[in-house]
Amino acid sequence: MNWSGFDHVFNVIVGLCEISIWWMIWQDYRKSKGLGEIEMPTKRWLLMLVLSLIPVGALIYHEFRYEPPSEFDAPNNALVSAWSRQGTSCQIIVVEKSVVPLRADYKMATACLLYDGKQDILDAPYLQVGGLYDIDKYGGTKTLIAGWSDFFTNYFVQKGGNGVYVALLLVPNGVEPYQFTTLRQARAIGVRIPQLDAATSDFPKN
């Protein structure tokens, strides 16, 4: 469920409850003054009910029409706000609201790889994958980190210190990072790769 949408529905329900409470207080006050109750026409009550259900309907519509983020071939720039190489690690800042509906089935991770253009980027070896992160149900931002092994650090030096790429991975439940060493292997077992881009400096790229 899109929890940010749920918050709007919850706020509408709370607002209607508060209106109802104050309406009853006002009616009791009028009765205490001998003024009698104010009748609420049935049509007006029905109108209030219909208006209160509009956000609920909008939320349900959104859930049914949700489409997971596209793969990196058509990246979703709203999903990642920054990516960078920091020394011997890679970092990504993820805007989670785009993947909240996937939180029950996927976890997030970031990955580093070296790409020299001599093979398909999906086959770049020695993929460095960080830990798995839960997707927050409220859709905030989260920094994902992948540290490098000593072997990968030496490999990076041998390659001249260039060609670092950073990827965002959506890893299905039950899949662990040690099960794949290339992006192609990751895709073959159901990992989504919604973002992949170069990070050739130590400074975040927005």
pLDDT computed for residue 58 by the predictor: 64
CA angle 27/28/30 to nearest 5° reads: 65
pLDDT computed for residue 46 by the predictor: 63
pLDDT computed for residue 37 by the predictor: 61
What is residue 187's three-state secondary structure? Answer: helix
pLDDT computed for residue 28 by the predictor: 74
DSSP calls for 87-116 = SSEEEEEEEGGGTGGGTTTEEEEEEEEE--
Topology, domain 80-198 = Immunoglobulin-like (2.60.40)
With a cut of 50, list the residues of the chain below it in pLDDT. 1-4, 202-206
d(CA 154, CA 148): 10
Q: Return the amino acid letter for 113.
A: L
Q: Tell me the angle at which helices 3-32 and 42-65 cross, rounded to the nearest 10 degrees.
A: 170
pLDDT computed for residue 81 by the predictor: 78
pLDDT computed for residue 203 by the predictor: 38
* Strand duo 106-114 + 128-129: pairing: antiparallel
pLDDT computed for residue 82 by the predictor: 78
Domain boundary assignment for the chain: 3-65, 80-198
